[in-house]
Amino acid sequence: MDKERFEQAIRKAIADRNAQSPEQRLRIYDAARAALARRPAGSPVLSETLEAAIEQIESSFAPKSTPEAAAVAEAGLPGSVRRPAARPILTRSLPAFVGGAVLGAALAVLGFILLNQPAGQSADVRSKLEARYAKALGQLPAAEEFLGTITNAIVDMQKKNPAALEAKAGKTFIGLKALDESLAKQMPTTLPPGTAVVLRANAKDFKILLNWSLCPAASIARPELVDRVRSKPDTLACPYFGVWSQGAANW
């Protein structure tokens, strides 16, 4: 029964997003794996069942008459707990092909797998999740604009008084208010409660990060903004996102 539910949810996500390429389907499979990993009642047995469902689905897309298809069927899918050694196709997650499509795929799987509710309850929960993420996605432009405002201010400080900037923020991350209280007051009021900015900067480089309040939405719509130093790749939850210079990428 679980395998049928998993397969139904994933096939629906694939159909809804017209995910015909291996890369597009991989994003949906990863969303399913991430959703199951966050399920409180998750177990190795369910993971096995999910991988079996994924393998069944992917085999339906493989050409039946080529040597490559036979090799894939023999080796299994990447990330499978059943056959983890061989990974001939879909070897890694790729950048999101469309932010909204990835969001929808993740939510489709979340509603069916993460919560594992009867159909009516699942639809209700999914609608609530969609509403929350839609709201967060709508707040991202203001967050990005504010990151741009801070970046311009930091660059201006680097030009006019680099020694003072480095003395305040060169050794460790500090709150924006500690650097410039007036700039901190410019944070858009439309951002979620609890939103905060931390930063580190010296005479040449900078890293400016917004905290968790919008990071899950950013990880889907703008994954390039997620701070990979503090976040695991290809996860919906993350602590920080923002902007940085090349020399500060690993701060």
Range of the domain at 78: 2-116
Residue 132 domain flag: no
Residue 128 domain flag: no
Residue 6 domain flag: yes
- Same domain, yes or no: 150 and 100: no
Measure the CA–CA gap between 195 and 186, rounded to whole angstroms. Answer: 13
- Same domain, yes or no: 111 and 147: no
- Same domain, yes or no: 105 and 175: no
Domain boundary among 116, 146, 181: 116
Residue 121 domain flag: no
- Same domain, yes or no: 242 and 184: yes
Nearest to 130 by CA among 100, 153, 151: 100
Quote the pLDDT of residue 11: 87
Residue 133 domain flag: no
The answer to whether 241 and 218 have CB atoms below 8 angstroms apart is yes
Residue 123 domain flag: no
- Same domain, yes or no: 150 and 55: no
SS3 62: coil
Can you give the pTM of this predicted structure? Answer: 0.54
Sign of CA dihedral 59, 62, 65, 68: negative
pLDDT tens series, the chain, 251 aa: 577 888 888 888 888 778 888 878 887 887 777 766 655 554 566 677 888 888 888 888 866 544 444 444 444 444 433 333 333 333 333 333 334 444 444 554 454 444 455 555 556 766 777 787 788 889 999 999 999 999 999 999 999 999 999 999 999 999 999 999 999 999 999 999 889 999 999 999 999 999 888 988 888 888 899 998 988 765 567 889 999 999 999 99
Measure the CA–CA gap between 52 and 19, rounded to whole angstroms. Answer: 19
- Helix (H), strand (E) counts: the chain: 10, 4
Residues sharing a CB contact under 8 Å with residue 138, sequence separation 6 or more, in sequence order: none
Query: How many C-beta atoms lie closer than 10 Å to residue 181's C-beta?
Result: 9
- Same domain, yes or no: 99 and 144: no
Quote the pLDDT of residue 78: 40
Q: How many domains are contained in the chain?
A: 2
Residue 45 domain flag: yes
**Residue with the two structure tokens 């901190």:** 184
- Same domain, yes or no: 6 and 111: yes
Residue 130 domain flag: no
- Same domain, yes or no: 92 and 181: no
CA distances from 60 to 69, 77, 113, 245 (A): 10, 13, 21, 45
